[in-house]
Amino acid sequence: MMIDAGEEQYVWQLRAHAVLGKLLERGRRDCLPPADWTVAAAGCGVTAHFHQPDPSARRLAFDAWAEALGADRTAAGSLSGAEVLTGKARLAEDDLVRVVLSARVWGGDEEDGGYG
């Protein structure tokens, strides 16, 4: 039986969904700040978006998850003047699922925080 592209993508999304469940359990267990999570429509991944109202709280939430996941972190400027924080990780439970962390921080008054 041949699997069509749509069916194959559902298989990948279900796999990412299972990893998301583990991430939510871990966040709850380790008292990590909540994030808005998205399961990728293509490929196999989940993305955490941080939208805490206070920029320093948003940075702290991003940092807490990045540290918990051992994510590689980068920071870049944007045309809007925000600092765009990105983290990338894979979990030992399923290293085919990519985990991306994303936050935009306006202000620029905070220290570098180890990004680069």
In the predicted model, what is the mean pLDDT of the chain?
87
Which 8-state DSSP code applies to residue 110? S
pTM, two decimal places = 0.83
CA atoms lying within 13 Å on the CB side of residue 82? 13
* Per-residue model confidence (pLDDT) at position 26: 96
pLDDT tens digit string along 30-73?
999 999 999 998 888 999 999 999 999 999 999 999 999 999 99
Q: How many helices (H) and strands (E) does the chain have?
A: 2, 5
